[in-house]
Structure 1
Amino acid sequence: MAWYDDDDLWAGFAGAMFSRRRAAEAAELVAKSPLLAFPAGARVLDLCCGPALHVVPLAQRGDRVTGVDLSEVMLARARETCREAGVDVRLVQADMLDFAEDRAFDVVLNLYTSFGYFDDPADNLRVLHNAHTSLDRGGTLLVDVLGKEVLASWVGRPQAVDVDEGTVFMRDTILDDWTRLRTEWTLVAGDTVRRATITSFLYSAAELRALFQQAGFTDVECFGDFDGSPYDNHARRLIVRGRRAD
């Protein structure tokens, strides 16, 4: 079983991955980021939506939102979050490797380092092809990851993060000549210890731009944060945006 198929991982580490602080940050991004400013009533697909951190504020401002996730645990949390917020959204359990709806969306979002999960590079490219298929003419795809250049400035130093349940210890290891990343998570909550290992592909800005172009996207741009700043030595994220022209 691939790590992303393990609902015990998502259930056990949901508090660390999707904290209340991160939910507040997501709402602020939707409100302020020029990269997340879409025309009124835009049809938005949040691919790998998790517990609806971005789905809710997008829907609250009037976007027509579809959230897709493989994990039923995450979708159950998303349904509850949407119910509490009083927003009407469509939530679909599906694998991003397979999900595509022809010209159904104006925007496809893949946020919070939810790209590069698959061991076969062709499968990661397939995700971009699916997004291209799902976009209407002139629609845009936005992918948010930690780029190699950003990661290089701090990777290798163990981190400890306090969460509601306890403390999460994280250790990153670069694999296969800087093409893959392994992250080991240990959650210590009282007398309970949970462990998980996540692996994913790493991309530089040039590499991810080339993948976008290979999938058929035009006008591909790279940004260093959600404020639209350039992808340079001050970048905090790697955000790539491309357009379906036809």
Structure 2
Amino acid sequence: MPSDATTNRYGSIAAEIYDIDKPLLALPDTGFHLERFRDFHRPILEPACGSGRTLVPFLQAGLDISGFDPSPEMLERCRTRCAEAGYAPDLSQQRYEDFAYPRRFGAILIPVGSFTLIDDFATAMEALARFRDHLEPGGVLVVDLQGLSFLASRTEDRRRWTSPSGELLTLEGVRTATDWKRQRAETTYRYERWRDGVLAESQIEVMAQRYWGLEEFRLALAAAGFAEVSVSGGYDRRRAPRATDRVWTFEAVRPSGR
């Protein structure tokens, strides 16, 4: 069964840290996907758009992109970022499990491994079918995935940032469960906000991810009705995936006859 509503929550401190830690155009996936969709003249959907790290640069490039996210805190930041840049895209609070639009899209883009936040296999397969149904015939699904090697990682995560207002924001993450059968990892994060050396706010969040094998995801895309599946590694479209890649990028097409 998929996680409950308290998992992969991305509350207020997590959302604030996300923007500080991952400013616009800072990660290699954004430029990679911008190049892929240069001169793309059909509407694009970004599920789990977060606070707009990808969506805003796409809007600035003149692309027609919409997004949804289950976190109200992330969506509020996304709306603010878009408004500050002069845009008002179609944004809504929805989930992978049951998102719905009255129109179809020319492309669906899920960058930087956000698809792994669907931590249940059956739910992931249902989401792939929903993506297919929301694509125009000939439309393309582009998904970045982190592979199974991440399931073996046990490194604890401790980091800190200074907010624009001068507050100290800290994060401590500890792997609390690893399920090799379900290919699922669960990490508990403690987010804290400090003012003048005094703890002002603390939030606990549980993050769960399901990691995929390379051929497994090829088969999953085919089973969901996609065709022309291709995959590249390390944000380099010129080469095949390698075992050492942190990210693989899959592309698949909804056939014209489906």
Give yes or no for TM over 0.5: yes
Indicate the RMSD between aligned Cα atoms, in angstroms. Answer: 2.5
Task: Write the distance in 2 (CA, Å) between the matches of 1:49 and 1:133.
Answer: 19
Is residue 47–residue 69 contact of structure 1 (8 Å, CA) maintained in 2?
yes
Residues 5-51 of structure 1, C-alpha deviations (whole Å, 9 max, x = no match):
74xx421211333335443325x643444763343333110111111
1:239 aligns with one of 238, 244, 249:
249
Shift of 1:116: 4.1
Q: Give yes or no for the alignment of 1:199 onto 2:208.
A: yes
Task: Describe how 1:77-226 pairs up with structure 2 within 5 A.
Answer: 77-101=77-101, 104-118=104-118, 120-149=120-149, 151=150, 155-164=153-162, 165-172=168-175, 173-177=177-181, 179-190=183-194, 191=199, 192-226=201-235
Q: Highest CA radius of gyration, 1 or 2?
A: 2
Is residue 108–residue 141 contact of structure 2 (8 Å, CA) maintained in 1?
yes
Task: Write the distance in 2 (CA, Å) between the matches of 1:195 and 1:101.
Answer: 33
Q: Closer, same or farther in 2 for the Cα pair 1:205/1:102, shift >3 Å?
A: farther
Q: Closer, same or farther in 2 for the Cα pair 1:126/1:177, shift >3 Å?
A: closer
Q: Closer, same or farther in 2 for the Cα pair 1:19/1:112, shift >3 Å?
A: farther
Structure 1: gaps spanning 5 or more residues: none
Structure 2: gaps spanning 5 or more residues: 163-167
Count of residue pairs brought into register by the alignment: 241
1:115 alignment partner, SS class: helix
Q: 1:230 is matched with which residue?
A: 240
Q: 2:51 is matched with which residue?
A: 51
2:57 alignment partner, SS class: helix
Q: Which region of structure 1 is more displaced relative to structure 2, 165-174 or 218-227?
A: 165-174
1:174 alignment partner, SS class: strand
In structure 1, what residue type is equivalent to 2:159?
Answer: V
Residues 151-196 of structure 1, C-alpha deviations (whole Å, 9 max, x = no match):
25x7112122222342322223422436111122122433244321
Q: Closer, same or farther in 2 for the Cα pair 1:201/1:233, shift >3 Å?
A: closer
Is residue 66–residue 91 contact of structure 2 (8 Å, CA) maintained in 1?
yes
1:141 alignment partner, SS class: strand
Q: Closer, same or farther in 2 for the Cα pair 1:110/1:31, shift >3 Å?
A: closer
In structure 2, what residue type is equivalent to 1:155?
Answer: S
Shift of 1:231: 1.4
Q: Closer, same or farther in 2 for the Cα pair 1:169/1:143, shift >3 Å?
A: same
Q: Closer, same or farther in 2 for the Cα pair 1:198/1:121, shift >3 Å?
A: same
In structure 2, what residue type is equivalent to 1:175?
Answer: D
Shift of 1:111: 2.2
Higher share in helix: 1
In structure 2, what residue type is equivalent to 1:10?
Answer: G
1:219 alignment partner, SS class: strand
Q: Closer, same or farther in 2 for the Cα pair 1:134/1:182, shift >3 Å?
A: same
Q: 1:23 is matched with which residue?
A: 24
Task: Write the distance in 2 (CA, Å) between the matches of 1:77 and 1:218.
Answer: 36
Is residue 224–residue 234 contact of structure 1 (8 Å, CA) maintained in 2?
no
Among all aligned residue pairs of Structure 1 and Structure 2, give the percentage whose two residues are the same amino acid: 22
TM-score by length of 1: 0.86
1:19 alignment partner, SS class: helix
Q: 2:165 is matched with which residue?
A: none
Q: Closer, same or farther in 2 for the Cα pair 1:20/1:159, shift >3 Å?
A: closer
2:26 alignment partner, SS class: helix
Is residue 22–residue 53 contact of structure 2 (8 Å, CA) maintained in 1?
no
